[in-house]
Structure 1
């Protein structure tokens, strides 16, 4: 008999964790497993990339009302006589608006949100919260399953969460996965009592699929020197620093374009920074692209100026496409890049990033060396899924 697996995810909006989940589900063995996917919001560009064997589940009734705007939700609950839920909806909004740390806000407002979520009891063998915070809390509090697994897709310390809030949730999981060696070490340091539960599994990447998609025609990039970066428009990804680096390069008279593929909450602030630094013609926010691989494939250099990462999917994709890569020295950078062998690592400041880019642009021999080194290795990680199977089948 097939085992029943439930994955939990907020949505499938463009993002590294979302793409990782879609990659994982496209490699899944549907001869041995039935897979459901619970989405809090059935949205995102990756929906169409899900394999047809995956059944999408959404929450209705009270959760659907809770998800409306605050006034509509509040009065709908009042009309139904659900005064506790009306109060929880007000509390949820207050916490998310008043708590400046967005991670804390999501943690502390969970007790209000969960009141609108029914218990999910569909005889699941395994429930997997594929993202830190709400996905894991829902897995623990609201799903009935024989085995429960959580995923932390980032450097836990850099997420700036309340570990005292998370520890009782993590302790109720059978296993807690993360995505790189350094992230695994951080989790073990943060939760020493849970060491035996903490596992590491690299993000699933298919070299063949990425290379095929990369060959699609793309005429949007300039014919000259192109820098490309993928990432959500958020503080984590360091685009504010990148804009200042861009201005430095422009002032030096270097002719280039820097294309950003992604969307996010910082767009307006970044657009203002672009204007203030006079780089509108050089630093270009392209938004979300369903197929980003032709952009990476046509890049002169792939740049990742992040403040922190778990294990950057975009960096691994650039490695598969044999691009010269420059990354900032975020804590887990050395898990993915060996300096001057598979890319270059520079300090996380505007001047250092600009100097590193300038050196790569001018040093064609170094670029050729990096490309040659990347071509010597296999970066597909399809076999990583066996780590999950081994735990599910025990």
Structure 2
């Protein structure tokens, strides 16, 4: 039986996190002994990890490192090695990288964490970093394994990483996996030496499970919104509250629609670092009654199922789990024209693709609201196609070994 380690920072809401949970729920535990290492034991998806997976206790140095933005964490990691105190100063200088957080994380790992964090005990047949960034650096530097793999979930060009800093880490991985063909191309353009080791494997999605969970309840928020106004159109977006997801643009689109007296309410499922900033923008735009940040929902599928239109205003994606789920539940989709979108959406058949501009998004939403036949045609196309792909688990086994 092969011993496999998966590493991911947390299991908070997000496409990569959901993708990993889907994979773990389809894994063959008669062939593999699977361990999971998180940098923080937090996230809505933790309880969805199957019982066969051993979730490791977080080693102390790793635990303290990822608490290091609070005072207690700084004291703890500093006390482990006094020589590292000077690196803390270097790291906080790098806070200047606020506009490019991923490069800040690279600097943090190289200047501080690589020296502070101890190696993970034990040895594995396969160690998998299921996310690019510090999980990749940890697997490369701190995990002993006969084979190492990395999953790339986004457009590398859009992520803001310094490829000169990444290059020696990428070189240490036996297999690089990305979830879309376009993401593979972009990654190989940046790291041509890795092209022979880079493959496309789609995210796994269980359509039967998603449809089953979508029937569990009707969202109370929707019931209340439609209670006094059955004609109100419900829009839904799902994603982390980060710059990538474009919710700032969505708020501007909502304002334009409000100014035209469009009868809608737009719900956002997700949590993230921009919540306070987005809420302030909502108040300033005076759309508090139309644009609602719901936070995390353990089962989001009834929210998909009962909405009228699914909107994804992302600045970039790899291959969006949320879009796959909206397709499975046959919702009319409006999505921004980020570089990899056509890997996932057939334009005007599976969804409407528009520029990431408030006016364009608002006009596309209003057009679907005013054209029920067009909306129905989008849904009918999706109903007639199967978007689940559990059978591709064998492709994972072939590459994991």
Q: Could you report, residue by residue, the CA deviation over 1:238-272 in whole angstroms, capped at 9, with x for unpaired residues? A: 11111111111111111010000011111111111
1:369 to 371, 377, 397: 377
Structure 2 counterpart SS, 1:36:
strand
Whole-angstrom distance in 2 between the partners of 1:12 and 1:198: 25
Whole-angstrom distance in 1 between the partners of 2:160 and 2:76: 35
Q: Which residue of 2 aligns with 1:220?
A: 221
Q: Which residue of 1 aligns with 2:229?
A: none
Whole-angstrom distance in 2 between the partners of 1:13 and 1:366: 35
Q: Which residue of 1 aligns with 2:278?
A: 270
Deviation at 1:69, TM superposition (A): 5.1
Whole-angstrom distance in 1 between the partners of 2:75 and 2:265: 50
Deviation at 1:392, TM superposition (A): 2.2
Q: How does 1:120-269 map to 2 (within 5 A)?
A: 120-217=120-217, 218-221=219-222, 222-223=225-226, 224-269=232-277
Structure 2 counterpart SS, 1:19:
helix
Structure 2 counterpart SS, 1:303:
strand
Q: Which residue of 2 aligns with 1:63?
A: 62
Indicate how the Cα distance of structure 1 residues 252 and 385 shifts in structure 2: closer, same or farther if over 3 A, else same: same
Structure 2 counterpart SS, 1:122:
coil
Whole-angstrom distance in 1 between the partners of 2:366 and 2:83: 59
Structure 2 counterpart SS, 1:203:
coil
Q: Which residue of 2 aligns with 1:324?
A: 332
Structure 1 counterpart SS, 2:221:
coil
Q: For structure 2, which runs of at least 5 residues remain unmatched after alignment?
A: 227-231
Indicate how the Cα distance of structure 1 residues 65 and 260 shifts in structure 2: closer, same or farther if over 3 A, else same: closer
**TM-score normalised per structure 1:** 0.95
Counterpart contact for 2:128–2:149, Cα < 8 Å = yes
**TM-score normalised per structure 2:** 0.94
Whole-angstrom distance in 1 between the partners of 2:105 and 2:79: 27
Whole-angstrom distance in 1 between the partners of 2:78 and 2:128: 34
Indicate how the Cα distance of structure 1 residues 252 and 109 shifts in structure 2: closer, same or farther if over 3 A, else same: same
Q: Which residue of 1 aligns with 2:308?
A: 300
Q: For structure 1, which runs of at least 5 residues remain unmatched after alignment?
A: none
- Number of residue pairs aligned between Structure 1 and Structure 2: 391
Deviation at 1:347, TM superposition (A): 1.2
Whole-angstrom distance in 2 between the partners of 1:8 and 1:90: 28
2:3 pairs with 1:4 = yes
Deviation at 1:190, TM superposition (A): 1.2
Q: Could you report, residue by residue, the CA deviation over 1:93-114 in whole angstroms, capped at 9, with x for unpaired residues? A: 4434655410110011102112
2:116 pairs with 1:116 = yes
Q: Which residue of 1 aligns with 2:84?
A: 85
